[in-house]
Amino acid sequence: MQTLTDSFGRRITYLRLSLTDHCNLRCRYCMPEDAHGSGRARRLSLEETARLVGLFARMGVERFRLTGGEPLLRKDLVPLAAALTSLPGVRDLSLSTNALLLEQSAAALAAAGVGRLNISLDSLQPERFADITGGGDLAAVLRGIEAARAAGMTPIKLNMVALNGINDDEITAMAEFAQARGLELRYIETMPVGGQGEWSMRHHLPAEQIMVRLKEHYGTDLLPQHEGAGGPARMYRIGAHGPRIGVISAVSRHFCASCNRVRLTAAGDLVLCLGNENSVSLREPMRAGMDDEALCDLIRAAILRKPERHDFNAPQVAPLRPMYALGG
Protein backbone atom coordinates (compact mmCIF):
# COMPACT_ATOMS: atom_id res chain seq x y z
CA MET A 1 0.00 0.00 0.00
CA GLN A 2 1.31 3.42 -1.00
CA THR A 3 2.61 5.47 1.93
CA LEU A 4 1.48 9.02 2.71
CA THR A 5 3.81 11.71 1.42
CA ASP A 6 2.89 15.36 1.03
CA SER A 7 3.80 17.66 -1.85
CA PHE A 8 6.98 18.82 -0.01
CA GLY A 9 8.27 15.25 0.29
CA ARG A 10 7.44 14.88 3.99
CA ARG A 11 6.31 11.36 4.96
CA ILE A 12 3.34 11.28 7.30
CA THR A 13 3.90 8.69 10.03
CA TYR A 14 2.09 10.23 13.01
CA LEU A 15 -1.63 10.85 13.58
CA ARG A 16 -3.03 12.72 16.57
CA LEU A 17 -6.63 11.81 17.32
CA SER A 18 -8.80 14.19 19.29
CA LEU A 19 -11.42 11.93 20.86
CA THR A 20 -13.66 14.66 22.24
CA ASP A 21 -13.88 18.45 22.37
CA HIS A 22 -15.33 18.31 25.88
CA CYS A 23 -13.10 18.99 28.87
CA ASN A 24 -13.38 18.95 32.67
CA LEU A 25 -10.97 21.92 32.89
CA ARG A 26 -10.88 25.38 31.35
CA CYS A 27 -7.18 26.17 30.98
CA ARG A 28 -6.92 29.85 30.28
CA TYR A 29 -4.75 29.46 27.19
CA CYS A 30 -7.00 26.77 25.72
CA MET A 31 -10.74 26.70 26.43
CA PRO A 32 -13.00 29.68 27.21
CA GLU A 33 -15.04 29.36 30.43
CA ASP A 34 -18.35 29.37 28.58
CA ALA A 35 -17.30 26.95 25.82
CA HIS A 36 -19.18 23.70 25.41
CA GLY A 37 -18.14 20.68 23.43
CA SER A 38 -20.18 19.57 20.44
CA GLY A 39 -22.94 16.95 20.41
CA ARG A 40 -22.49 13.16 20.38
CA ALA A 41 -23.93 12.62 16.88
CA ARG A 42 -21.01 14.43 15.25
CA ARG A 43 -18.41 12.43 17.16
CA LEU A 44 -16.77 9.41 15.53
CA SER A 45 -17.77 6.15 17.24
CA LEU A 46 -15.26 3.59 18.48
CA GLU A 47 -15.83 1.53 15.30
CA GLU A 48 -15.46 4.55 12.97
CA THR A 49 -12.27 5.64 14.74
CA ALA A 50 -10.80 2.13 14.54
CA ARG A 51 -11.67 1.88 10.84
CA LEU A 52 -9.88 5.15 10.02
CA VAL A 53 -6.87 4.29 12.20
CA GLY A 54 -6.64 0.94 10.39
CA LEU A 55 -6.55 2.75 7.04
CA PHE A 56 -3.89 5.22 8.20
CA ALA A 57 -1.82 2.29 9.54
CA ARG A 58 -2.11 0.53 6.16
CA MET A 59 -0.67 3.67 4.56
CA GLY A 60 2.39 3.65 6.81
CA VAL A 61 1.30 5.74 9.79
CA GLU A 62 2.88 4.04 12.81
CA ARG A 63 2.37 6.33 15.77
CA PHE A 64 -0.98 7.47 17.13
CA ARG A 65 -1.76 9.77 20.03
CA LEU A 66 -5.12 10.03 21.78
CA THR A 67 -5.89 13.55 22.89
CA GLY A 68 -8.80 15.97 23.20
CA GLY A 69 -10.40 17.93 24.90
CA GLU A 70 -9.95 15.52 27.73
CA PRO A 71 -9.77 11.93 26.38
CA LEU A 72 -10.43 10.40 29.80
CA LEU A 73 -13.98 11.78 29.58
CA ARG A 74 -14.67 9.12 26.93
CA LYS A 75 -16.38 6.24 28.73
CA ASP A 76 -15.17 3.86 26.01
CA LEU A 77 -11.53 4.99 26.18
CA VAL A 78 -10.12 1.69 27.44
CA PRO A 79 -11.89 -0.53 24.83
CA LEU A 80 -11.04 2.05 22.16
CA ALA A 81 -7.35 1.95 23.09
CA ALA A 82 -7.42 -1.86 23.12
CA ALA A 83 -9.10 -1.92 19.68
CA LEU A 84 -6.48 0.43 18.23
CA THR A 85 -3.43 -1.35 19.66
CA SER A 86 -4.69 -4.65 18.20
CA LEU A 87 -4.73 -3.24 14.63
CA PRO A 88 -1.90 -4.35 12.33
CA GLY A 89 0.66 -1.59 11.79
CA VAL A 90 -0.17 0.38 14.96
CA ARG A 91 3.25 0.40 16.60
CA ASP A 92 2.78 3.05 19.21
CA LEU A 93 -0.32 4.39 20.98
CA SER A 94 0.15 7.27 23.40
CA LEU A 95 -2.19 9.49 25.40
CA SER A 96 -2.28 13.18 26.35
CA THR A 97 -4.34 13.98 29.43
CA ASN A 98 -4.82 16.48 32.22
CA ALA A 99 -4.70 13.42 34.56
CA LEU A 100 -7.67 14.53 36.69
CA LEU A 101 -9.35 11.14 36.12
CA LEU A 102 -6.19 9.11 35.62
CA GLU A 103 -6.02 7.55 39.06
CA GLN A 104 -9.05 5.36 38.29
CA SER A 105 -8.00 4.23 34.82
CA ALA A 106 -4.18 4.15 34.61
CA ALA A 107 -3.87 0.40 35.18
CA ALA A 108 -6.61 -0.47 32.63
CA LEU A 109 -5.07 1.87 30.04
CA ALA A 110 -1.64 0.33 30.53
CA ALA A 111 -3.19 -3.14 30.08
CA ALA A 112 -4.88 -1.91 26.88
CA GLY A 113 -1.45 -1.05 25.44
CA VAL A 114 -1.12 2.67 26.17
CA GLY A 115 2.49 3.11 27.22
CA ARG A 116 3.58 6.64 26.58
CA LEU A 117 1.80 9.33 28.47
CA ASN A 118 1.88 13.14 28.33
CA ILE A 119 0.41 14.92 31.32
CA SER A 120 -0.31 18.65 31.39
CA LEU A 121 0.93 20.27 34.59
CA ASP A 122 1.45 24.02 34.73
CA SER A 123 1.91 24.62 38.45
CA LEU A 124 2.75 22.78 41.66
CA GLN A 125 0.88 25.33 43.78
CA PRO A 126 -2.75 24.25 44.38
CA GLU A 127 -4.30 27.73 44.20
CA ARG A 128 -2.34 28.77 41.17
CA PHE A 129 -3.09 25.46 39.47
CA ALA A 130 -6.81 26.02 40.09
CA ASP A 131 -6.54 29.55 38.75
CA ILE A 132 -4.79 28.55 35.51
CA THR A 133 -7.05 25.56 34.86
CA GLY A 134 -10.42 27.04 35.84
CA GLY A 135 -10.79 25.14 39.12
CA GLY A 136 -8.60 22.05 38.69
CA ASP A 137 -7.71 19.92 41.72
CA LEU A 138 -3.92 19.58 41.82
CA ALA A 139 -4.05 16.73 44.37
CA ALA A 140 -6.13 14.59 41.97
CA VAL A 141 -3.61 15.21 39.17
CA LEU A 142 -0.70 14.22 41.43
CA ARG A 143 -2.54 11.01 42.38
CA GLY A 144 -3.06 10.34 38.66
CA ILE A 145 0.68 10.73 38.03
CA GLU A 146 1.46 8.25 40.83
CA ALA A 147 -1.10 5.76 39.48
CA ALA A 148 0.51 5.95 36.02
CA ARG A 149 3.95 5.37 37.50
CA ALA A 150 2.63 2.43 39.53
CA ALA A 151 1.05 0.98 36.36
CA GLY A 152 4.47 1.05 34.68
CA MET A 153 3.50 3.54 31.95
CA THR A 154 6.66 4.89 30.37
CA PRO A 155 7.88 7.36 29.42
CA ILE A 156 5.68 9.79 31.35
CA LYS A 157 6.24 13.33 30.14
CA LEU A 158 5.00 16.42 31.88
CA ASN A 159 3.95 19.32 29.66
CA MET A 160 4.23 22.73 31.28
CA VAL A 161 2.89 25.68 29.32
CA ALA A 162 5.27 28.45 30.38
CA LEU A 163 3.31 31.64 31.01
CA ASN A 164 5.00 34.98 31.49
CA GLY A 165 3.97 36.53 34.83
CA ILE A 166 1.84 33.51 35.77
CA ASN A 167 4.01 30.43 36.37
CA ASP A 168 7.46 31.37 35.04
CA ASP A 169 8.81 31.35 38.62
CA GLU A 170 8.16 27.57 38.72
CA ILE A 171 10.31 26.61 35.72
CA THR A 172 13.08 25.06 37.79
CA ALA A 173 10.73 23.74 40.51
CA MET A 174 8.97 21.72 37.83
CA ALA A 175 12.31 20.30 36.64
CA GLU A 176 13.06 19.22 40.19
CA PHE A 177 9.61 17.65 40.57
CA ALA A 178 10.20 15.68 37.34
CA GLN A 179 13.72 14.70 38.36
CA ALA A 180 12.58 13.31 41.72
CA ARG A 181 10.08 11.02 39.95
CA GLY A 182 12.09 9.97 36.90
CA LEU A 183 9.74 11.85 34.54
CA GLU A 184 10.56 13.79 31.40
CA LEU A 185 9.52 17.42 31.10
CA ARG A 186 8.60 19.64 28.18
CA TYR A 187 8.19 23.41 28.42
CA ILE A 188 5.74 24.68 25.84
CA GLU A 189 5.46 28.17 24.38
CA THR A 190 1.87 29.37 24.08
CA MET A 191 0.43 29.39 20.58
CA PRO A 192 -2.11 31.92 19.25
CA VAL A 193 -4.88 29.37 18.74
CA GLY A 194 -8.65 29.67 19.07
CA GLY A 195 -10.59 32.15 21.21
CA GLN A 196 -7.86 32.16 23.88
CA GLY A 197 -5.19 33.25 21.41
CA GLU A 198 -5.02 36.82 22.67
CA TRP A 199 -4.61 35.77 26.33
CA SER A 200 -2.05 33.16 25.28
CA MET A 201 0.09 35.65 23.43
CA ARG A 202 -0.18 38.25 26.22
CA HIS A 203 1.54 35.72 28.49
CA HIS A 204 3.77 34.28 25.78
CA LEU A 205 7.20 33.40 27.15
CA PRO A 206 9.62 32.84 24.25
CA ALA A 207 11.68 29.67 24.38
CA GLU A 208 14.84 31.78 24.60
CA GLN A 209 13.60 33.20 27.91
CA ILE A 210 12.88 29.72 29.23
CA MET A 211 16.44 28.77 28.26
CA VAL A 212 17.86 31.83 30.05
CA ARG A 213 16.11 30.75 33.30
CA LEU A 214 17.33 27.17 32.96
CA LYS A 215 20.91 28.22 32.18
CA GLU A 216 20.97 30.64 35.11
CA HIS A 217 19.92 27.84 37.45
CA TYR A 218 21.75 24.81 36.06
CA GLY A 219 24.81 26.40 34.38
CA THR A 220 27.04 23.80 32.75
CA ASP A 221 24.85 20.98 34.09
CA LEU A 222 22.40 21.77 31.29
CA LEU A 223 23.62 19.44 28.55
CA PRO A 224 22.19 19.85 25.01
CA GLN A 225 21.07 16.57 23.47
CA HIS A 226 21.29 15.47 19.91
CA GLU A 227 19.15 17.67 17.53
CA GLY A 228 16.05 15.87 16.34
CA ALA A 229 16.00 13.43 19.27
CA GLY A 230 12.81 14.96 20.66
CA GLY A 231 10.65 15.66 17.61
CA PRO A 232 9.63 19.32 17.74
CA ALA A 233 11.36 19.84 21.11
CA ARG A 234 14.92 21.03 21.66
CA MET A 235 16.25 18.52 24.17
CA TYR A 236 18.59 18.85 27.16
CA ARG A 237 19.62 16.69 30.08
CA ILE A 238 20.25 18.04 33.56
CA GLY A 239 23.58 16.46 34.45
CA ALA A 240 24.77 13.21 32.87
CA HIS A 241 22.09 11.13 34.59
CA GLY A 242 19.38 13.71 35.26
CA PRO A 243 15.98 14.01 33.56
CA ARG A 244 15.53 14.82 29.90
CA ILE A 245 13.86 18.17 29.42
CA GLY A 246 12.69 19.78 26.21
CA VAL A 247 11.59 23.18 25.03
CA ILE A 248 8.87 23.30 22.38
CA SER A 249 8.81 26.58 20.50
CA ALA A 250 6.23 26.35 17.74
CA VAL A 251 6.06 30.11 17.39
CA SER A 252 9.59 31.45 17.83
CA ARG A 253 11.33 28.56 16.04
CA HIS A 254 8.98 26.58 13.86
CA PHE A 255 9.72 22.97 13.01
CA CYS A 256 7.55 22.66 9.92
CA ALA A 257 10.32 21.38 7.60
CA SER A 258 10.41 18.05 9.42
CA CYS A 259 6.66 17.83 10.20
CA ASN A 260 5.45 14.22 9.97
CA ARG A 261 2.00 14.61 11.51
CA VAL A 262 -1.64 15.29 10.78
CA ARG A 263 -4.64 15.50 13.10
CA LEU A 264 -8.11 13.99 13.18
CA THR A 265 -10.77 15.83 15.16
CA ALA A 266 -13.46 14.05 17.18
CA ALA A 267 -15.92 14.94 14.41
CA GLY A 268 -13.72 13.22 11.80
CA ASP A 269 -12.10 16.26 10.15
CA LEU A 270 -8.59 15.55 8.93
CA VAL A 271 -6.63 18.71 9.82
CA LEU A 272 -3.39 19.05 7.91
CA CYS A 273 -1.61 21.67 10.03
CA LEU A 274 -2.10 23.02 13.56
CA GLY A 275 -1.60 26.58 12.35
CA ASN A 276 -3.79 26.49 9.27
CA GLU A 277 -7.49 25.92 8.60
CA ASN A 278 -7.08 23.31 5.81
CA SER A 279 -9.19 20.26 6.61
CA VAL A 280 -11.18 17.51 4.95
CA SER A 281 -14.17 15.70 6.49
CA LEU A 282 -13.73 11.92 6.56
CA ARG A 283 -16.88 11.34 8.63
CA GLU A 284 -19.39 12.41 5.97
CA PRO A 285 -18.06 10.21 3.13
CA MET A 286 -17.58 7.32 5.57
CA ARG A 287 -21.19 7.62 6.80
CA ALA A 288 -22.39 7.91 3.20
CA GLY A 289 -20.91 4.44 2.57
CA MET A 290 -17.53 5.17 0.96
CA ASP A 291 -15.38 2.02 0.74
CA ASP A 292 -11.85 1.64 2.14
CA GLU A 293 -10.04 2.19 -1.17
CA ALA A 294 -11.90 5.43 -1.89
CA LEU A 295 -11.31 6.65 1.68
CA CYS A 296 -7.56 5.99 1.27
CA ASP A 297 -7.61 7.96 -2.00
CA LEU A 298 -9.40 10.82 -0.23
CA ILE A 299 -6.80 10.81 2.57
CA ARG A 300 -3.88 10.71 0.11
CA ALA A 301 -5.35 13.64 -1.87
CA ALA A 302 -5.87 15.61 1.37
CA ILE A 303 -2.25 15.03 2.44
CA LEU A 304 -1.08 16.61 -0.82
CA ARG A 305 -2.77 19.82 0.40
CA LYS A 306 -0.75 19.95 3.63
CA PRO A 307 0.74 23.48 3.73
CA GLU A 308 4.49 23.99 3.81
CA ARG A 309 4.39 25.72 7.19
CA HIS A 310 2.10 27.27 9.78
CA ASP A 311 0.95 30.89 9.69
CA PHE A 312 1.42 31.77 13.36
CA ASN A 313 3.83 34.59 12.57
CA ALA A 314 1.71 36.12 9.81
CA PRO A 315 0.63 39.68 10.66
CA GLN A 316 -3.06 38.81 10.38
CA VAL A 317 -3.59 35.34 11.77
CA ALA A 318 -7.11 34.07 11.04
CA PRO A 319 -8.98 32.73 14.08
CA LEU A 320 -7.86 29.13 14.12
CA ARG A 321 -9.63 26.09 15.51
CA PRO A 322 -9.42 26.01 19.28
CA MET A 323 -6.81 23.76 20.83
CA TYR A 324 -9.42 21.78 22.79
CA ALA A 325 -10.89 20.73 19.43
CA LEU A 326 -7.54 20.03 17.79
CA GLY A 327 -5.77 18.15 20.55
CA GLY A 328 -2.57 20.21 20.66
Give 214: exposed, middle or buried? Use CB within 10 Å, 0-12, 13-18, 19+: buried
Does position 327 interact with ligand SAM (CB under 6 A)? The reply is yes
> Nearest approach, Cβ of 2 to ligand SAM (angstroms)?
31
Nearer to ligand SF4, 64 or 129 (CB): 129
> Nearest approach, Cβ of 202 to ligand SAM (angstroms)?
11
Does position 145 interact with ligand SAM (CB under 6 A)? The reply is no
- Residue of 215, 257, 272, 200 lying closest to 15 (CA atoms): 272
Nearer to ligand SF4, 22 or 310 (CB): 22
Does position 21 interact with ligand SAM (CB under 6 A)? The reply is no
**Residues in touch with ligand SF4 (CB under 6 A):** 23, 25-27, 30-31, 68-70, 98, 120, 323-324
21 touches 265 (CB < 8 A): yes
Contacting residue, 191, 266, 271, 302, with ligand SAM by CB under 6 A? 191
310 touches 273 (CB < 8 A): yes
Rounded CA gap, 255 and 258, in Å? Answer: 6
Q: Which of residues 76-105 bind ligand SAM (CB under 6 A)?
A: 96-98
Nearer to ligand SAM, 14 or 324 (CB): 324
Taking CB under 6 A as the binding criterion, the range among 192-200, 212-220, 283-291, 298-306 that sits at the site for ligand SAM is 192-200
Nearer to ligand SAM, 245 or 323 (CB): 323
Nearer to ligand SAM, 5 or 209 (CB): 209
Does position 68 interact with ligand SAM (CB under 6 A)? The reply is yes
| CA dihedral sign of residues 309, 312, 315, 319 | positive
Find which of ligand SAM, ligand SF4, none residue 64 binds, CB within 5 to 8 Å per kind.
Answer: none
> Nearest approach, Cβ of 169 to ligand SAM (angstroms)?
18
Nearer to ligand SF4, 22 or 283 (CB): 22
Does position 159 interact with ligand SAM (CB under 6 A)? The reply is yes
Nearer to ligand SAM, 137 or 221 (CB): 137
Give 301: exposed, middle or buried? Use CB within 10 Å, 0-12, 13-18, 19+: exposed
> Nearest approach, Cβ of 46 to ligand SF4 (angstroms)?
21
185 touches 227 (CB < 8 A): no
> Nearest approach, Cβ of 324 to ligand SF4 (angstroms)?
4
- Each residue 161-190 as x (binds ligand SAM by CB under 6 A) or -, in order, gives x--------------------------x-x
CA distances from 162 to 168, 190, 301 (A): 6, 7, 37
Nearer to ligand SF4, 67 or 249 (CB): 67
Applying CB under 6 A, the residues found at the interface with ligand SAM are 23, 29-30, 67-68, 70, 96-98, 120, 159, 161, 188, 190-191, 193, 196, 200, 323-324, 327-328
